[in-house]
Structure 1
Amino acid sequence: MKLKYVLPIAFIALFFSCSTDDDDNTTIVNEVEGLELIQTIVNGNETIELYNEKGLFETGYNMISLRIKDNTTDSYIEDATLSWMPMMQMPTMEHSSPKSTISKAIGKDTVYEGFIIYQMINTDGSGWSLTLNYTIDGTDYSLTETISVMQYGNQNTATFMGSDGTNYILALIEPKDPSIAVNEMKVGLFKMENMMTFPVVEDYTIALDPRMPGMGNHTSPNNTDLTYNNADNFYYGDLSLTMTGYWKLNLKLMNTDDDVLKGEDVTDENEASSLYLELEF
């Protein structure tokens, strides 16, 4: 007669045991998975961590992720407001570079992100500093730290004066992993308004003529010129790569009136444009 009471009690005990085990099975999410740490900067009670896919700063377009750690609680801040100012110190002057605002990374609680385009370097990586301003719980903080910026590989950015007397910065963003195919090409175009301000240039056209100098300077089919995208303020076009190796991406920059501001057509007499970017894969 007692058996009928034993079975329900055993079932209830098993149910609560399973429920407790499930509740304790908490997955810890690594919000910087797939990124490499570039540098940490300690500012009193906070440590700022800088990340990207390569773990270094280099010429051209750098997408950067940031986290702020509270050193007292060993936890990351979820509700900070951040801004930054990169600076290049030269012998007789200093200047900044194109940069984005910093915003919370989509789907992340503790990660903030934005981009900086470093348009020049010293051969030893010196010269650049980064000022970070941030606000936590209504209190403002600021710090400045030296950083190293190097050039690796081919030319991924171009700084030049156009025929209109304006200084421009052009930076290659995509393709990051080129392949034998028609690749989406994405670039950023900015102008130097003054030493500290580099607004986006809108609604220009960038003509594209990719060539392989080591292979008779042949081109490829199905390329399209780059045009401005209002959604993200970058320029997009089609880049056809028909074989692996070194490619020179010859370019011409034209304003809204189709005036050529920089660059030339590639012809039998002129093997390359004075405005170009490079790829090798």
Structure 2
Amino acid sequence: MKAEYVQVQIELPEHQKEVAIALLASIGFEAFEETEQGLIACIGRESFEEERLNNMLEVVNCTSFRTQLLPPQNWNATWEAQYPSVFVDDFCQVIPTFRQPRPGFEHCLIIDPKMSFGTGHHETTRLMIRMMRQLDFSRCRVLDMGCGTGILAILAAKLGAEAVTGIDIDPWSYENARENVQLNGSGPIDIRQGDARSIPPGEYDLILANINRNVLLADMPVYAQHLKAGGKLLISGFYQTDVPSLLQSAQALGLRHAHALKEADWAALLFEKTRN
């Protein structure tokens, strides 16, 4: 028998979406879609409790939502049919295991997302991929902080990196990244669970970090310590309005601003370390 689901449409601002998703997941919601107005979330009918939903949404100052009972259907088949591949110029295509690659792209990444960030659908992931296209990864030691699905670590390996370390604090992302590394036959990639304190000893030629502004500002001194002189730091995960504070922090650490890209309201920045 196919399960019935309750779909909840929630109106809330952009900066509250991440918190709302975490809260909803903690009370049994299983699937999420970000919209311009807020979120769409789904939960099994037998697990839905409107009072618990109200209590959770009060935390993010949101009490406006609509519910809809969805008819039973094969949700895996529906999700697969609606899940799009991602094409970044003619450089890179990102596909799940149930899609076939298209010809005409330099690189193909097989990414099964599960609950991790980094499928190429978000602007910041695409910005990182476009910036990576312009860099020379050959014989480089690379660190990918907040690696999510492992998408950037895998691409770095395909671009010729000598060794890649990916780190994410989330246990789901840690497991998902390891699975995606195997799917792509990529190596050598070392996936670890943790934060900036988990960075292995030594220096890196390239550090990638697609994380939010606050984490970047807090951890940038650690990244600078682990970056070789002349090494590069590529970051995204923030709005264009956040760029001035990130530039100021980087300059104080001896990181020279080398390049920038933007898509919609999002931005990516490239820095080069000018001193030890």
The structure that has the greater radius of gyration is: 1
The verdict on a shared fold, with TM-score over 0.5 as the criterion, is: no
The structure with the greater share of residues assigned to helix is: 2
Q: TM-score range by the shorter chain?
A: under 0.3
- Structure with greater strand share of residues: 1
| TM-score normalized with structure 2 length | 0.26
